[in-house]
Amino acid sequence: MSRIRMLGPKDQLQSCLGCVQDVGLVQLIEPAETESLTPLGLTIEQAHHVRSVRKVVEDVDTALELLGVTPEPPKAAEALPLTKAALIAGRSRRQLEAVAEQRQGLEEERALILKFRPFFSAFRKIGDSGLDLDGIRVFYLVLREDGEQELRRMRAALRQALGDGFELLSQPSESGESAMLLAVPTADAAKAEQLLSEAGVQSLALPDQFEDEGVSATIRRMQTRLDELPEALAALERERAQIARERGRELAWIQASVRDHLATVEAMEKAVVTPRAFVLEGWVPKAVQPELERRLGSTCGPGFEIETISSEEWSGDTVPVVLKNPRLFRPFEAITRMMPLPKYGTVDPTPFVAIFFPMFFGVVLGDIGYGTMLAAVSLILRIRSQANTTLRSVSEIGLACSLFTIIFGFLYGELFGDLGHRIGLHPLIFNREEAFFPFLGFAIALGLVHIVVGLLVGAVKMFRGDKRRAIGKGMAAVMVVLIALALMAAFEMLPERFFTPLVITTLVALPVLIIGEGILAPIEFVSTLGNVLSYARIMAVGTASVMMAVVANRMVGAFGSVVVGILFALVFHLINFVLGVFSPTIHVLRLHYVEFFGKFYSPGGAQYRPFRHWSARESASDERSE
């Protein structure tokens, strides 16, 4: 990153800001004040204007949110005066809020009437009994699930207080509770209400529009209203869709243009001025700085200059970070961005993630059939996703993972578990069904390589500053390798005569480690060895996956019908595939974020946000990256 300073005539500030916004490469910051440079500030009229613009932004944002869609603004449209834009945005917001309020009211009314649906059959039973429904007081009660004993107690209490002058009917509801309807003479309503209150039984209140009607009319109106509500909701949806057709693109244009204008006004507050000149400062990627100077020099006119600020002046500042990787590695930035961005000047872990993540994933899943299924799903996602979106990155990561899954499937000889062995596929390295210890050793060996790479990357990063700690970090990597070789010699994987020299070399390296990283270095080193052992989870999750696939295949012969067995096997394979995608993803991410990143990663970088023209897509992308 380069920090630049832009200077020009004060009366050209607004036009120069427009040029900077057109270029869209500079992240503006507030320059330091001096005796000769003071903040520009806003006049009373400008402050009032900003408030008006923000009100329009609020109206148009709310209107588009209520529409539920964000249409593409027209590429060429006539600029609207702020007053007209404010009228359109305000009117659209009010109309859409009214539609949304009506819809919410209808939904609530529908939900409330549905609560009373179990009472409808109870109403009919009372009507069939010949009881005068309009001369009684009705209570609508809800009894919790398995409340038969409570129901019996309530009947006994009512009979004691009212004799036979009541009717209590219950009807089970879909939720498992019981809807009860209690009908009593109006003269006994107070007694019944007191009994219900003492028993703690929940009572439902009728909707307001039904309170003043008799019981018979209430049930008829409720049923009629329930039949009318779907059409009323559909009419509101048609009204919303019509507003979207008529004003959607216009509102999107207003949103983009007004937000652009607001950004320009707010950017003016970042300027400091003298009586005749202005000064703006900002960050720009070094690679595009020559192009920026060329374009601004040709558009901002005479008197405009750009100078680069020496790094000594901003070495302690928070510098924005831009992740820049080759096209092959770029999708894996989605994994890196799930963590806070690395500090400026430190290591971007994306290339390492791009190499190790799909490889570890393939080691765990390692099946030709599942890899092919994952490739098909990833390819469909890629076709249906847009460029430069998170979904596109996920699809491309999935394709890389599927490639390694298929490769390791050939190495293990697995096609939907042991089906590959049955059709003649042979393991090229080992059979995961039987070779638990070779698989465990392979997983830990991968962890050893991963951790050593992390330690070496950390040592290289530290060598620019703290060389003593860099040597300590490098020595930790050497000691991890020495201990691994000593263990191999102890288990006769290497000549036994290497064991003693390797142990002596490790002990000699220990003081160097303590000198480099301090007295706590041995404890941290033991923690590092524990990190290596954490990679055993690769073996555990991988073995679980292949054993589930084997179980699925054996289901075919476990049922009387072959067809039923095949159906069960397919379902089980589908479940195993879903688990085989998500489980390795979670565990491999953990190995990267905890074990690997902990050796060199320095979080705390700021997101690069250049001053540019507003767009809904880029705004949503910025919000996701926060």
Can you give the pTM of this predicted structure?
A: 0.73
Single-letter code of the amino acid located at 625:
S
- State residue 498's pLDDT score: 85
Q: How far apart are the C-alpha atoms of 315 and 342, rounded to whole Å? A: 16
Tokens of 292: 């920026």
Which among 41, 495, 501, 550 is positioned nearest to 265, based on CA atoms?
41
Say if CB 503 and CB 486 are below 8 A apart: yes
Q: What are the tens digits of pLDDT across the range 486-517?
A: 888 888 788 888 888 888 888 888 888 888 77
At residue 542, does pLDDT exceed 80? yes
Tokens of 483: 């201990």
Residues 6+ apart with CB under 8 A from 137: 183, 184, 185, 186, 188, 189, 192
- State residue 179's pLDDT score: 67
- State residue 139's pLDDT score: 75
Q: How far apart are the C-alpha atoms of 577 and 566, rounded to whole Å? A: 16
At residue 200, does pLDDT exceed 90? no
E strands, 262-405, in order: 272-273, 277-284, 305-308, 320-321
In sequence order, the β-bridge partners of residue 342 are 603
Q: What are the tens digits of pLDDT across the range 564-620?
A: 778 888 888 899 899 989 999 999 999 999 999 988 888 888 888 888 888 766 655
The CA-CA-CA angle for residues 487, 358, 356, to 5°, reads 45
- What are the Cα distances from residue 477, in Å, to 306, 355, 364, 458, 518? 46, 20, 25, 10, 16
Residues 6+ apart with CB under 8 A from 64: 70, 248, 251, 252, 255
Scored b (16 or more CB within 10 A) or e, 379-389 reads eebbeebeeee
- State residue 137's pLDDT score: 75
Please state the separation of Cα 214 from the chain's center in Å.
52
Neighbours of 180 (CB within 10 A): 23
Q: What are the tens digits of pLDDT across the range 341-400?
A: 888 888 899 999 999 999 999 999 999 999 999 999 999 999 998 888 889 999 999 999
Given the DSSP bridges, would you call strands 167-172 and 38-39 parallel, antiparallel or unpaired? unpaired
Mean pLDDT of 516-544: 87
What is the band of 171 on the pLDDT scale with cuts at 50, 70, 90? low
- What are the Cα distances from residue 456, in Å, to 304, 316, 450, 477, 593? 47, 26, 10, 7, 17
Cα torsion 609, 613, 614, 615: sign: negative
Mean pLDDT of 20-49: 79
Q: Which residue in this structure is represented by tokens 């250049």?
A: 610
Tokens of 432: 């995961």
DSSP label of 202 = E
- State residue 272's pLDDT score: 85
Mean pLDDT of 135-161: 72
Please state, rounded to an integer, the average pLDDT across all residues of the chain. 82
Phi-psi region of 345 (alpha: psi -120 to 50; beta: other; left: phi over 0): left
Q: How far apart are the C-alpha atoms of 570 and 231, rounded to whole Å? A: 42
Q: What are the tens digits of pLDDT across the range 60-96?
A: 889 988 887 777 766 655 667 888 888 988 999 999 9
Residues 6+ apart with CB under 8 A from 533: 444, 447
Residues 6+ apart with CB under 8 A from 309: 2, 3, 4, 5, 281
At residue 212, does pLDDT exceed 60? no
Mean pLDDT of 128-133: 51
Single-letter code of the amino acid located at 58:
E
Q: How far apart are the C-alpha atoms of 530 and 545, rounded to whole Å? A: 24
Determine the 3-state secondary structure of 6 from DSSP: strand
Q: Which domains occur in the chain, in start order?
A: 2-82+242-313 (no CATH), 106-230 (3.30.70.2750)
